[in-house]
Amino acid sequence: MRYMKPEEIDWNNLKFGYTRTPVNVRCYCRDGQWGEIEEHAEETVTMHMAATALHYGQTAFEGLKAFRCPDGKVRVFRMDENARRMQSSAEYLRMGVPSVELFCEMVTRVVTLNKEYIPPYESGGSLYIRPVIVGSGPQLGVKPAGETLLLMFVSPVGPYYSGGMKGISAIIDRTHDRAAPFGTGHTKAGGNYGASLTSALEGHEKGYDSVLYLDPAQHRYIDECGAANFFGIRVDAAEEGGRAHYITPASHSILPSITNKSLRQIAADFGMEVEARQVELDELNTFSEAGCCGTAAVITPVSTIFDPADGKTYRFGEGVGLWSKKLYDELVAIQHGEVEDRHGWNTVLDL
């Protein structure tokens, strides 16, 4: 695939998808030692046919963004958190574990090398960064590879909501589980997403935008919403002061979302009561707002959730709720340097 020159890109009509950029970066870990960072122009990776990534699912990934900001600088959001989460995934899957310093150096380099492809602030777009780590060494038996490849590529993407935030519909999946109770759900393993494809497609065939998973052990608690963390907003009655609660599920089978972690902190800054715990399915009745959150969209409002077990539909309004919009606006403003980065989340690059 030929990559487009920056001047050929229609920044104001950029979709959220893959666009080739000139350079990607790679680093190999062999015999427990990480080598030098390499710069590559090709999109393909040469890999042994017996690589453990191909046979045993020894692969994980991350996703983060860089933003061109009103002050002309570039901000990368919470790349140290992505580094630590990749460490957790790599360690659990028995791959070479990159240091936070190596991860961040590779992110900085791949953004810098492709800086012309960072969408202008006015477009609402960003530079999506995709780190991937795989067992690249050959094995015939089921055991870890002796070689690990960490690579990173970037793609300019448009705003997730080009026409404004809209609520989605979801159906509770009572046929499939996203992950096993003590499996890889807490990591960003590639296999977790492969396992969710059938569920997502079946949900779409039934007319729903997403699926809501229940906990794999008892099917009693809320787990995740598609490939994103779930949250609900509950507001106390006026006589109790009207305090708002940000409530999100927590368990070993749920991926620790960096966006969710950030929203929880912002919610606390706003004076909301933050609760990360097991969330009973029946609690959906108590939420005035619901949503899912992740790197791509930040927040996706959930308007309805249908439970095929009893035919009940939970409703949370047609669009984005008051508190969800407030949280979204604050997080996006931090990412773009428009408000104080009071928690030191951004890495600022003068590019």
Q: Which residue has the tokens 């026409």?
A: 163
Q: What is the CA radius of gyration of the chain?
A: 21
Determine contact, residues 345/262, Cβ cutoff 8 Å: yes
Distance CA 65, CA 124 (A): 12
Is residue 240 predicted with pLDDT exceeding 80? Answer: no
Tell me, what's the pLDDT at 256?
A: 97
Is residue 93 predicted with pLDDT exceeding 60? Answer: yes
- For residues 177 and 16, the model is more confident at 177
Determine contact, residues 35/27, Cβ cutoff 8 Å: yes
DSSP β-ladder status, 222-225 and 210-214: antiparallel
Tell me, what's the pLDDT at 161?
A: 72
The dihedral through the CA atoms of 300, 259, 63, 148 has a sign that is negative
DSSP β-ladder status, 273-277 and 74-77: unpaired
In the chain, the domains with their CATH numbers are 6-157 (3.30.470.10), 168-335 (3.20.10.10)
Distance CA 166, CA 106 (A): 35
Residue type, 75: R
Burial of 224 (0-12, 13-18, 19+ CB in 10 A): buried
What token pair was written down for 40?
A: 């590559």
Please report how the helices 258-269 and 322-335 are oriented relative to each other, as an axis angle in degrees rounded to 10.
110
Question: Is residue 312 flagged as an active site residue?
Answer: no
Determine contact, residues 258/249, Cβ cutoff 8 Å: no
CA-to-CA separations, 5 to 20, 72, 192, in angstroms, rounded = 10, 21, 35
Tell me, what's the pLDDT at 226?
A: 94
Choosing from 73, 166, 188, 325, the catalytic residue is 188
Element (H, E) at 305: strand 298-307
Please report how the helices 79-92 and 100-113 are oriented relative to each other, as an axis angle in degrees rounded to 10.
120
Report the greatest alpha carbon distance in the chain.
66
Is residue 257 predicted with pLDDT exceeding 60? Answer: yes
Cα atoms in the 13 Å half-sphere on the side-chain side of 226: 24
- Give the mean model confidence (pLDDT) for residues 12-33: 94
pLDDT confidence tier of residue 14, bands split at 50, 70 and 90: very high
Tell me, what's the pLDDT at 2?
A: 76
Is residue 51 predicted with pLDDT exceeding 70? Answer: yes
Mean pLDDT of all residues in the chain?
A: 95
Listing DSSP states for 159-206 in one string gives -S-TT----EEEEEESS--SS-TTSSTTTTBHHHHHTTHHHHHHHHHT
pLDDT in tens, 56-79: 999 999 999 999 999 999 999 999
Share of the chain above pLDDT 70, in %: 98
Share of the chain above pLDDT 90, in %: 92
- Give the mean model confidence (pLDDT) for residues 265-289: 97
Tell me, what's the pLDDT at 175?
A: 95
Is residue 16 predicted with pLDDT exceeding 90? Answer: no
- Give the mean model confidence (pLDDT) for residues 230-240: 83
pLDDT in tens, 145-181: 999 999 999 999 998 876 678 899 999 999 999 999 9
What token pair was written down for 51?
A: 């690589």
Tell me, what's the pLDDT at 162?
A: 66
Is residue 187 predicted with pLDDT exceeding 60? Answer: yes
Tell me, what's the pLDDT at 242?
A: 81
Tell me, what's the pLDDT at 341?
A: 98
Distance CA 120, CA 107 (A): 19
Tell me, what's the pLDDT at 159?
A: 86
Tell me, what's the pLDDT at 163?
A: 67
